[in-house]
Structure 1
Amino acid sequence: MAEARIRLTYEDEATARAVHEAISPDNYQAPEGIDVEAEREGAMLRIRVKTRRLRSLLPTLDDLLACVQAAERALEAVEGRKI
């Protein structure tokens, strides 16, 4: 089993909430053998990824962080500010 934890801190709670909703495991369909959990506390977003195999961890993190980046860019476009 391989595991990674990511902590992202945003300027405000609303931004963290929007990113969390965009990448929540309910919307992120992880393949069998991969477990993704995300929780938000104020302006902080915590993400935990577990995979059965180490070789699955890096591509999973890459996909997940691409989703985070897409959510951040969408917010930047809508709000007109850098996140």
Structure 2
Amino acid sequence: MPRDPDDLPLLALREVGANIRRFRSAAGLTLEQLGAATGRERRTISRCEYSAAVATLDGLTALARALGVEAWRLLYG
């Protein structure tokens, strides 16, 4: 069954959050450690991981740098 086009932004947001969480876990970092490395609060990163907040382009770049991956990997896995 085709997806409702209105659901696509939420699905993309969930995928980005899952990618952040997956790369953070693979790097062995806690939310606190990733927050310290990016200059963001633990709560902000947690909200991005669970699709309750949208990371800015600057935020995604900082996360990618701290996780040791290219920024596109956070978007596409």
What TM-score do the two structures reach when normalised by structure 2? 0.37
What TM-score do the two structures reach when normalised by structure 1? 0.36
Q: 1 or 2, which has the higher strand percentage?
A: 1
Larger Rg: 1
Q: 1 or 2, which has the higher helix percentage?
A: 2
